[in-house]
Structure 1
Amino acid sequence: MHEEKALKVYTYHGAGRVSMKAEDFAQYDVVITTYQTLASDFMPRGKAASTGVPERKLRASGLYGMDWRRIILDEGHTIRNPSSKGAAAVTALMARSRWALTGTPIINSLKDLYCLLRFIGITGGLEKLEVFNSVLIRPLKNGEPTAVFLLQAIMNAFTLRRRKEMAFIDLRLPKLDEYVHRIDFTEKEKERYVALAKEAKGVLTGVLGKGKEQTFAHLLEVLLRMRQCCNHWQLCGGRVTKLLAHLQEHGGTVDLNPETKKALQDVLQVQIECQELCPVCLETLHNPVITTCSHSFGLECIAKVIETQHKKCPMCRAELPDVESTLVGPANEHGDEAADDEMDLTQSSSKLEGMMKILAATRASGRGEKTVVFSQWTRFLDIVMARLDRDGYTYCRLDGTMTAAQRDGALHALEHDAGCTVMLASLGVCAVGLNLTAANQIILSDSWWAPAIEDQAVDRVHRLGQKRETRIFRLVVDKTIEDQVLEIQAEKRKLMRLAFSEGEGKRDGGKVKTGRLADIQRLLASQEG
């Protein structure tokens, strides 16, 4: 490209960015920024969300002082929460054209799609959430054919859908095969799992019944431990259970100390993984935090409640004096846990043995193939790491507890160190923005409720630049809750196919989900005990 024809690009982000006006931005062809910077310009620090910012002041400078030719959102599903500050920030930009790029427009429900449609400028009343609910979301849940036709008409009019498996795309990617590797519990593991299943059924009875009240958080926590037990029994710690029992017995709040803070973060992680709703705005948790009385909210929502409603929790009326001393956020931005010194890393499990058989066969093939092992739980990665050490593997690791420099080092080792044949990776960290094509084999140690997150992680490996045929091994303990997680994944894939009038893909299938408590009843109905 001739130098005089090169695009002039400006990167506008960070705390040290200079103040810019429309005429400053106009000197460049492309301006690159982040969602966080956009939200910061939209609502400067120190301004209460309830007071708003006058339109003339909002448009005076920064990104909002420019009438853009085109706004392009990368990873557009980032704005899927209609009540979030980020969604409001991008929608408020002035532009003649609006594009949103995403491989996962629907992660949990059609509300994810609403924000994208509102951003690109849909009208006719559908830009209002209550109308969108009444003419699309509720009728679709009731199976009304007219709503299906309306949804498909909207998607045909507003979207350009391109999937790498479409014949006319022809990315010339190597073949991708997926295998579900079913594993049987040992008798001892089965005893532990059945005990957890019985506990979950008892808690569910308490939630549904009129006797002694059981908290929904307690039920979700037991379900999480059932899933963790499928990986390794040592993941099923009792810290969360003790905290919930204390709160149920004594009421009120807990004093924050290192132990209770960690327990609250564990409870919050359960809520995040289960895609729980913020009780204030009834949307998926956004900037999730948990109170010292163990109720989870979106940060913006609970901060406003504390400010305007006499500093009390809207769920239990417990005293919440201020945001700083009563709210706890995730352990890190990806929710990954730090190492647990109390774990015995020498203990194995059926799933770990199944994984090691796959890795041993790969090493014995002599083809120099590399494997990425994904898990939701970094404590399970600790156990796998100890086993790899004992069996003489060279590996690297990528998770949310690591610094940026450490992550870069792991990526460099996978790509450039021929002896490094395994990467242990946190699913949340690897869902977007990475190139892992140095590997061509994937082991999914556990299944995520939202298949879009898994699909994005798989696409870090099976993407442009991949030269080898790629394999996915999904480890599933037979006749456990993991079977039902796969069904829920299939239901969410079905919703995506419905919206885009697509046929069933290789990774699709399953039954239709009804409601949250009904889902849990169905999950537990098939469990032994």
Structure 2
Amino acid sequence: MASNKRHFETIDLSVDEDIPSRLSKAPRFNGIPFDANSRITASQRYDENGENELVDELDASQNYDAAFANYELYGNMATKIVGVRFYNGHISMGEMVLLIREPNNQYDINAIRVDNVRGQQIGHVPKKDAAKLAPFMDTRSLLVEGVTTSEKKQFDCELSLKLYGTSDSTERAHLKDQMNDSRLPLDEFKRREKDDKARAKEQQAREKARQKALKAAKKGGMSMPGGNGNLSIPGSSGTYAGGSSRSDIPSQTLDDILQESERFNPRNIEHAVEQFGLNEEDLAKMDMAEQPEAMLTTMLPYQRQGLHWLLRKENPTFPAEGSKESVQLWCRQERNPKIVTNMATHFSLLDKLPDLASGGILADDMGLGKTIQVISLLLADVAAKKMAVSDVSGATLILAPLSVMSNWSTQIEKHIKKNHTLCVAIYHGAKRCHIDATTIGNYDVVITTYGTMTFEYWNNKNSPSAVPRKNGLFSVNWRRVVLDEGHNIRNPAAKTSVAACNLLAQSRWVLTGTPIINTLRDLYALVKFLRLSGGLDRFELFNSAIVRPVNQGSEQAHKLLQVLMRDICLRRKKEMAFIDLKLPELNEFIHSIKFLPHEKERYEALEAEAKGTLDTYRAQQGTEAATAYRNLLEILLRLRQTCNHFKLCGAKRFDLLKMGEKEVLDLTPENKKALQDMLHLTVETQEECPVCMEAPVDPVITLCAHFLCYNCIERIIEEQHKCPMCRARIESKDQLIRPAAEEAQEPDFDVNESSSKVEALLAILKASKKEVDGKPTKTVVFSQWTSFLNVIQPQLVAQGYNFTRIDGTMKAEARDKALEALENDPSCTIMLASLGVCSVGLNLVAANQVILADSWWAPAIEDQAVDRVHRLGQKRKTTIIKLVMENSIEERVLEIQNEKRKLMMLAFAEKSNKRANKGEAASVAQIERLLGGRSENVSKP
């Protein structure tokens, strides 16, 4: 009889000649074959007793979520789980299961094991069905998900499988033929084909009717409204319709300019599912805790409400029998209250309550005092050091980015009474204190960085030693672990995320203003860290239960997501009435500008080139497609720069893309500089890392000209010494090229030559000279390109403005002087600021006006920049003006931004959400929209 003890080993595919041959037929992602050889690896998970299990240590190249993110349903397959009498795993009807390939199974190389959500084996898929499915699972052509449709019987259990495949229009037909040959069901695929044909027929009929009406209208001498097909922002008449010289432009007041602009408030975006979440009224009525006696600073009412919530979530309780309430998606069944079921995975327990996670996500807006609330939690829980639980210490571990680590010790000292001081240790650098299970009793709080924690966990090894250890961060069972800026672990495959998940703690907290940054998959990493039970710590189940159905518009999945977030996450926004920060009014405007004729000609030429490159990309495969994609991103960047100044997008960098056609470059100084330029270009266009499919973290470029995150490529080099994109040999990490130190970008043209956007900017600054309440208006001008700041700067000098500047080329001392000038010098009324440098960590309340000269792909970075001005300490009404060129890529970027703002709204069921996501590169579907085309059925990168 087979044992049900889980034991995983890394699978060596070389023992089976059939399976490697399947891999050569793998689908393509980002224009390259999906390398299943390094991805079909088993979990390294300890599960001897079902307790204190180590979280999966994912292969950094696995890329499971990215590969399957856009798959669509092809068919439904009825089968069974057989051999159930040999295993002790518990399963009930309606539960989700895990389907795991076992190519090394000694009885069947096509074996597919079936586990319940706890990882306990139930049985196997029948051999006949497994033989059909295994080749598709091995090549990742199909994602197979299962749900039981009967109770577990003596010999088997009924099982329903859903088969998901590529949504790429160029690969669908091939997969359909393969599935037909294997006699796999295609019921959903055929239904969708039928619907598509019906829609196409209706579209043709509508177009025919429109053309007929157009001919009739022309014959009658009428004109059709909106016939040019161009997008325009309502209420925007434009600023400069003709004239290219400054003398042609009449003087305007700021009120005149704003009247020509569209008032814009991203907070007013509504969503139909808001009814499912905690609304502002419910948040205002939350219970308050008493302020801890040791707290020196008087806490605001909403902060005391936050403290009450923190204390309650550290000690979660299960609803009593008869209650219809849920906790962490667990609830009692109405027909039998002794059975508790997970609402997401439908896993059930009889006469036993599940383990509930202690902790949650504090996601208040920036500036609402997340730090103060956590400090009050520490003080309210001082009795933890006297707890009877012998293996849990009374100390709290705080993980923070290096730049804010010292802020924690400063704030703890500032907000606590002298006679109640906590003993704080900084665990960082060569002089760090010694920590083990004995000495931890000397400390109340230990503060360290993500980097220190990550290095200590892995210790330059691919397989870290077991936890707990003899000393260090992983030798202590902490009272609680607090992740400041917790979205840093959003990639669950990264070394930092794996290390954080393996810290031992009674309670776990995530502090972040952006728990969802790019997609709902970001939330999975936080759920994994919190250790929610019921199966949601497995991405396959989280994706199947929440991510995919939410993306497909399922109202039930929307509700499920919001119930989860309402339970584990507290989010208040500073504009909520009950918060009452008494911030002055904030008005935001979109100011539209018309291209001058010669600018429009240059822009349309680039746009046509971009559309042609998109067509080329569609027609290519492999490395040719990757090169076309980089060309496409390059042209999109140039289109955006043309909106600022028609000569800003010099063509010299196009030559860099030709480097990608060579296999491997020699590491000469010239090639290193060229690769660094290419890396800078790739980062600037916000291209995703092809391994983790996230915005780049610590980006590097290989000698074969491929761009990746350092953490992603590091482990691949250690294990394979090959580039994951082209398989070129990489001997060591020393061959990776890092970005060059930022240098001021000097434009290769006469900076005195102006543009429509520059003229619009100068007109706004001129109109802003009037003092308000005896104080001058101070303006921060943000741009993501320092080269554009270099264009603006001589124009300000010529106009006699006293201004200052902050960008990434400046040292800390120079930045401090710039901030001091803006704050204390009445004659200094303008600051030129690099968007990437100034979106975090600065206080710019001395200004009361912001001009956003250009738009980012996603809104959160520029939103955070605005928050530097409109925050606690701001005493004046604040105006935000976003400059947008009419009928350009910038208008279509605004549409995508608004969609991204809705994502976190969906999770929290908010009526409004000001700040949503950052760092997400444009998908090909989005690129089509940016170029004014359709976006259906496109899914390459």
TM-score by length of 2: 0.51
Tell me the secondary structure at the aligned position of residue 476 of structure 1: strand
Displacement of 1:112 in angstroms is 1.8
Change (3 A) 1:360 1:19: farther
**Counterpart-to-counterpart distance in 2, 1:119 and 1:231:** 43
Equivalence for 1:110? 520
Change (3 A) 1:30 1:437: farther
**Counterpart-to-counterpart distance in 1, 2:528 and 2:839:** 25
Equivalence for 1:483? 891
CA RMSD after TM alignment: 2.6
Equivalence for 1:304? 715
Equivalence for 1:54? 466
Equivalence for 1:516? 923
For 1:194-209, what aligned pairs fall within 5 Å after superposition? 194-209=604-619
Equivalence for 2:654? 241
Equivalence for 2:758? 352
Equivalence for 1:10? 425
Tell me the secondary structure at the aligned position of residue 428 of structure 1: helix
**Counterpart-to-counterpart distance in 2, 1:8 and 1:422:** 44
Instruction: After superposing the two structures, state which structure 1 stretch, 135-144 or 231-240, moved more.
Output: 231-240
Displacement of 1:273 in angstroms is 4.7
Change (3 A) 1:223 1:402: same
**Counterpart-to-counterpart distance in 1, 2:822 and 2:470:** 47
**Counterpart-to-counterpart distance in 1, 2:836 and 2:429:** 24
**Matched AA of 1:89:** A
TM-score by length of 1: 0.89
Q: Which of these residues, 461, 470, 476, is aligned with residue 878 of structure 2? A: 470
Equivalence for 1:398? 806
For 1:370-449, what aligned pairs fall within 5 Å after superposition? 370-449=778-857
- 1:338 equivalent to 2:744? Answer yes
- 1:289 equivalent to 2:700? Answer yes
Equivalence for 1:167? 577
Tell me the secondary structure at the aligned position of residue 475 of structure 1: strand
Change (3 A) 1:341 1:180: closer
Q: Which of these residues, 432, 443, 461, is aligned with residue 28 of structure 1? A: 443
**Counterpart-to-counterpart distance in 1, 2:852 and 2:759:** 14
More helix by share: 1
- 1:157 equivalent to 2:572? Answer no
Cα pair 1:107 1:450 within 8 Å, conserved? no
For 1:189-338, what aligned pairs fall within 5 Å after superposition? 189-210=599-620, 214-248=627-661, 251-256=662-667, 260-309=671-720, 311-325=721-735, 327-332=736-741, 337-338=743-744
Cα pair 1:269 1:330 within 8 Å, conserved? yes
**Matched AA of 1:225:** R
Equivalence for 1:459? 867
**Counterpart-to-counterpart distance in 2, 1:33 and 1:407:** 26
Query: Of the two, which has the highest radius of gyration?
Result: 2
Q: Deviations over 1:423-463 (max 9, x none)?
A: 22222222222211111111111111121222222111111
**Counterpart-to-counterpart distance in 2, 1:465 and 1:135:** 44
Tell me the secondary structure at the aligned position of residue 99 of structure 1: strand
Change (3 A) 1:409 1:261: farther
**Counterpart-to-counterpart distance in 1, 2:451 and 2:811:** 20
**Counterpart-to-counterpart distance in 2, 1:155 and 1:439:** 36
**Counterpart-to-counterpart distance in 1, 2:873 and 2:600:** 43
Cα pair 2:901 2:913 within 8 Å, conserved? no
Change (3 A) 1:85 1:171: same
**Matched AA of 2:458:** M
Instruction: After superposing the two structures, state which structure 1 stretch, 130-139 or 237-246, moved more.
Output: 237-246
Cα pair 1:337 1:379 within 8 Å, conserved? no
**Counterpart-to-counterpart distance in 2, 1:182 and 1:258:** 45
For 1:72-111, what aligned pairs fall within 5 Å after superposition? 72-111=482-521
**Matched AA of 2:755:** S
Displacement of 1:86 in angstroms is 2.2
> What is the identity percentage for the equivalent residue pairs of Structure 1 and Structure 2?
52
Cα pair 2:549 2:557 within 8 Å, conserved? yes
Change (3 A) 1:89 1:234: farther
**Matched AA of 1:293:** C
Change (3 A) 1:159 1:247: closer
Tell me the secondary structure at the aligned position of residue 830 of structure 2: strand
| Structure 2 residue runs without a partner (length 5+) | 1-295, 297-416, 935-941
Change (3 A) 1:273 1:80: farther
Cα pair 2:747 2:787 within 8 Å, conserved? no
Displacement of 1:507 in angstroms is 8.3
- 1:185 equivalent to 2:595? Answer yes
Displacement of 1:341 in angstroms is 6.6
**Matched AA of 1:17:** R
Q: Deviations over 1:279-306 (max 9, x none)?
A: 2344443322122322211212222323
- 1:135 equivalent to 2:545? Answer yes
Cα pair 2:691 2:712 within 8 Å, conserved? yes
**Counterpart-to-counterpart distance in 1, 2:680 and 2:896:** 19
Displacement of 1:25 in angstroms is 4.4
Instruction: After superposing the two structures, state which structure 1 stretch, 7-16 or 292-301, moved more.
Output: 7-16
Change (3 A) 1:263 1:222: farther
Displacement of 1:388 in angstroms is 2.0
Q: Deviations over 1:339-388 (max 9, x none)?
A: 32745332222111111111122123463121111111111112222222
Cα pair 2:650 2:748 within 8 Å, conserved? no
Change (3 A) 1:457 1:16: farther
**Matched AA of 1:305:** I
- 1:525 equivalent to 2:932? Answer yes
**Counterpart-to-counterpart distance in 1, 2:761 and 2:630:** 31
Q: Deviations over 1:280-333 (max 9, x none)?
A: 344443322122322211212222323333x432222334343223x222335x
Tell me the secondary structure at the aligned position of residue 730 of structure 2: coil
**Counterpart-to-counterpart distance in 1, 2:488 and 2:788:** 28
**Counterpart-to-counterpart distance in 2, 1:421 and 1:13:** 41
**Counterpart-to-counterpart distance in 1, 2:425 and 2:876:** 37
**Matched AA of 2:838:** C
Residues matched between the structures, number: 510
**Counterpart-to-counterpart distance in 1, 2:610 and 2:616:** 10
**Counterpart-to-counterpart distance in 2, 1:431 and 1:202:** 35
Instruction: After superposing the two structures, state which structure 1 stretch, 485-494 or 362-371, moved more.
Output: 362-371
Displacement of 1:175 in angstroms is 0.8
Tell me the secondary structure at the aligned position of residue 769 of structure 2: helix
Equivalence for 2:133? none
**Counterpart-to-counterpart distance in 1, 2:434 and 2:871:** 39
**Counterpart-to-counterpart distance in 1, 2:438 and 2:885:** 61
- 1:362 equivalent to 2:768? Answer yes
| Structure 1 residue runs without a partner (length 5+) | none
